[in-house]
Amino acid sequence: MTHILHIDASARPGIAGTDNHGSHSRHLTYQFVSQWQSGRPQDTVTYRDIGQNPPSIINHDWIASAFTPELSLEPWMKDALAESNQLVDELIAADIVVIGTPLYNFGMPAALKAWIDQVVRAGRTVDIDESNPTDPFIPKLDDRPRHAIILTARGGIGFDPGGEMAHMNHLEPNLATALGFIGITRLHYIAIEGQEVGGEVLETSVVEALGKVEALVADLQEVLMQEAVAESA
C-alpha cells in the first residue's frame, strides 16, 4: 500500500475552474490525488493545507532545540520541536509527496519555505558526519524510493528549463535542492503558465498540464505494479 502526503501551498483556498479566484496549483493536486485514488483506492492520503494554515517560522528556541541531542532536550525544547516532529513524521511516512505551489515573486510562497525549514532537520531527515568536514551531510530519506510531484502555477510564461524566463525561476530548483538534500531525488514537475495572460494561452496550458497529470499518475502506478510483481517473483 502506498501512502501520499498531499500539500497545498497556495494562498488561494479554492480550485480554479470551480471556485471564484480559485487556485490552479490546487486544481493540479486535486486532479493528481483523485485520479490516483480512483486507480488505487487502497492507498492512503495525508492532507496538509499550508497555504491556509502555514507552519511556524523557525526561531531561536527552535534552533537551540533542534541542535540539542535527544537525551538532553528540556521540556520547553520538546515543545519547540513538537510541530516540526509532526511535519517530519508525515514526510517520513510518505511514499509520494505531492506539492502544489504557485510561483510567487520568482520563488516559493513563505508558507512552503516555512515547511521546508521545519522538515529539513539534523538527526531526523539528515545526519551530520562530523568526521567528514568536507562532505558531512547524510540524507536519511533515501532509505526507500520516494517520489515528489511538484505541481506549480505561474503568472507568466517561459519559466520552464530552456525558456526565456527560466533564469528567474527559483521555485523548482530550490525545492529540488532541499528535497535532494534529505534524500528525495525522484522528482516530477508539471506547471500551468500564463495565469496573468489569461485567454487561450492559459486555457491551453491548463489542458496540457491536466493531461500530463493523468499520464504521470498512470506511469507511476504502472511502475508500482511492476515493482510489486518483481518483489513477489
Residues placed in the known binding site for FMN: 10, 23-25
What is 36-97 written as a DSSP string?
HHHH-TT-EEEEEETTTSPPPPP-HHHHHHHTS-GGG--HHHHHHTHHHHHHHHHHHH-SEE
Cβ–Cβ under 8 Å, residues 97 and 167: no
Rg (CA), the chain: 19
For 150, list phi and psi in degrees, rounded to 5: -100, 110
* Annotated binding-site ranges: 10, 23-25
End-to-end CA distance of the chain: 18
* Residue 24 in grid coordinates: 490552479
Nine-digit cell string for 183: 534524500
Cα 156-212-2 angle, rounded to 5 deg: 120
**Cell matching residue 36:** 490516483
Work out the angle at residue 20's Cα, subtended by the Cα atoms of residues 96 and 196, and round it to the nearest 5 degrees.
80
